[in-house]
Amino acid sequence: MSQAETAAAVRAPSPLWGLSLLRSEVGTTFRRWRTLALLGVLAAVPVLVGIAVKVETRGGGSGGHDGGGPAFISQVTNNGLFLVFTALAATLPFFLPMAVGVIAGDSIAGEASAGTLRYLLVAPAGRTRLLLAKFATAMLFCLVAAFVVAASALAVGALLFPLGDVTLISGTTISLGEGLLRAALIAVVVAMSLMGVAALGLFVSTLTNSGIAAMATTVGLLITVQILDQFPQLHAIQPYLFPHYWLSFADLLRDPVYWDQMLRNLGLQALYAAVFGSAAWARFTARDVTV
């Protein structure tokens, strides 16, 4: 209890101890009932899509037609692996970013409304460090969410449909093993596509003391931007909207792979992360915490 002892403990911390906050953040986020519910909803989407496809083909629908719906859906009956691509294409425009918006939007504002923010800050977590831990956790959630969709789709696809060699968009055929590898790569690309939403949500989260308001604002912005991306009149600004290149992940199913759009997507996401990450940092480090 002597003061010398306290001072020594402060002077010689291991740099690794600083990672405790990130570990705690990840543990706290993934132990929340809400996080698990979001992941549960995401896991349910491929189940519904798979069942719908199965029922439709049984009912006499010809398997080969290409009558709209999410990408790759017509191929699912031939190869269950395509359900992974279908499910990711179906959840990427709304379900996935909405889930990320909830997690990122609540990250700081939720701590503020619970009052725990002041105790994290006097611990002292450090404002920059806390923000980084929050952003890293949101990105980890993106990755987990994408893999939950992919894994659920793979399980449903294997259960309801045959699995086998994969015929790519370019016409070439690859083995099932390589198909699985590409599916994993696509899940990673999908997760990284959500970086812009995560950064936007984090920034919104530093603006308010209400977790609900931050989540609603982030999801509202997401919907607005998705709508703007549909208007042909706005084509001049569309390349700068974060969802614009989202579906470019399909280019990973070509041989050779088209990287152009995908790199543009990743560049755009990095730009959003830089802009809104800095804005969040500027706001959060200068802010009075009175709750």
Partner 1 sequence: MEPVIATLGLTKRYRGGQLAVDGLDLVVPRGSVFGFLGPNGSGKTTTIRMLMGLIEPTSGTARVLGEAMPGAGRRVLPRVGALIEGPALYGFLSGRDNLVRFDAADPTADPRTRAARVEGALDRVGLAGAAGKKARAYSLGMKQRLGLASALLRPRELLVLDEPTNGLDPQGMREIRSLVRQLASDGTTVFLSSHLLDEIEQVCTHAAVMAQGRLLTQGTVADLASSVRGRLAVTTPDTADAVRVLKEHGVIDLVVTDDRVTGELPAAGPPDLADVNAALVRADVRVRAFGTQRASLEDAFVALTGEGFDVAG
User: Contact letters (x/-) for partner 1, 215-254, by CB under 8 A?
Assistant: ----------------------------------------
Whole-number minimum distance, CB 135 to partner 1, in Å?
16
C-alpha to C-alpha distance for 106 and 25, rounded to whole angstroms: 13
Contact partners, residue 199, CB within 8 Å, separation at least 6: 104, 135, 272, 273, 275, 276, 277, 280
Q: How far is CA 99 from CA 12, 39, 124, in A?
A: 40, 8, 29
Whole-number minimum distance, CB 212 to partner 1, in Å?
15
Whole-number minimum distance, CB 15 to partner 1, in Å?
9
Closest-CA residue to 133 (of 108, 153, 114, 154): 108
Say which DSSP state 90 is in: H
C-alpha to C-alpha distance for 66 and 82, rounded to whole angstroms: 14
Which member of 31, 62, 66, 233 binds partner 1 (CB under 8 A)?
31
Around Cβ 285, how many Cβ atoms within 10 Å?
12
Helix axes of 20-31 and 127-160: crossing angle, nearest 10 degrees? 50
Nearer to partner 1, 125 or 262 (CB): 125
Which member of 5, 60, 67, 68 binds partner 1 (CB under 8 A)?
5
Whole-number minimum distance, CB 129 to partner 1, in Å?
7
Which member of 30, 32, 94, 155 binds partner 1 (CB under 8 A)?
32
Whole-number minimum distance, CB 142 to partner 1, in Å?
22
Contact partners, residue 289, CB within 8 Å, separation at least 6: 112, 117, 118, 121
Whole-number minimum distance, CB 35 to partner 1, in Å?
10
Which member of 60, 64, 171, 288 binds partner 1 (CB under 8 A)?
288
Range in contact with partner 1 (rule: CB under 8 A) among 30-38, 45-53, 203-211, 241-249: 30-38
Which member of 123, 185, 212, 274 binds partner 1 (CB under 8 A)?
123
C-alpha to C-alpha distance for 93 and 100, rounded to whole angstroms: 12
Range in contact with partner 1 (rule: CB under 8 A) among 5-13, 91-99, 162-170, 206-214: 5-13
Say which DSSP state 193 is in: H
Contact partners, residue 63, CB within 8 Å, separation at least 6: 57, 74, 77, 78
Asked if 159 is part of the footprint of partner 1 (rule: CB under 8 A), the reply reads no
| Cis before 162? omega within 30 | no
Whole-number minimum distance, CB 24 to partner 1, in Å?
4
Which member of 114, 176, 212, 227 binds partner 1 (CB under 8 A)?
114
Note the residues at the interface with partner 1 (CB under 8 A): 1-3, 5-7, 9-10, 13-14, 17-18, 20-21, 23-24, 28, 31-33, 114-116, 118-126, 129-130, 286, 288-290
